[in-house]
Copies of this chain bind each other. A is one copy, B any other.
Amino acid sequence: MMNAVCDTSSPVQDLLERYVDCLDEDRLEEWPELFLENGLYKILSRENEAMGLPAPLVYYYSRGMMEDRVTALRDALTYEFVYSRHLITNTRISARDDIIEASSNFVIFHTCEEGRSKTYAVGRYRDVIVETDDGPKFKKRTVILDTFAVQNLIAAPL
């Protein structure tokens, strides 16, 4: 009756969606599982990226570091409560041999407890994804962050 709809038919698209869902639905514990054991997660300001300055704002280079981060967010850090909502657009995916490259633009809205929403961060994801026995995983996700003046950058993953 219904033909397959493309944006849900690809395991890679599904990975990109699950990333969003686990952050927006506050299931942070699932976030490291989307990466390889030695996967990279990096936030770079767009300014630094444009100038070829490699110093990242955030840099985790293993799933363990991401899990530590989640533990800290759950147990130690206090920060203002917000709901987040990612809108992901302009996704481009290309595959060469076993390496899949993807990029997407994003805007993240935050909504405070009083129900007011604001643009929190804008930027672009640049991904290297590989197939595993457990489906595709991020080998590397680089967040190119336009909005580097975010107030609570260190709190949650983008």
Contacts and interface: CB of A to CB of B under 8 A. Distances in A.
B87 A87 contact: yes
Contacts of A86: 90, 105
Interface stretch (A58-66, A69-77, A92-100): A92-100
18 contacts: A2-B100, A5-B10, A6-B7, A7-B93, A8-B93, A8-B94, A20-B90, A20-B105, A46-B83, A85-B124, A85-B146, A86-B105, A87-B105, A88-B90, A109-B122, A114-B149, A115-B150, A117-B146
Interface of A: 1-3, 5-13, 17, 20, 45-47, 83, 85-95, 98, 100, 105, 107, 109, 111, 113-119, 121-124, 131, 146-150
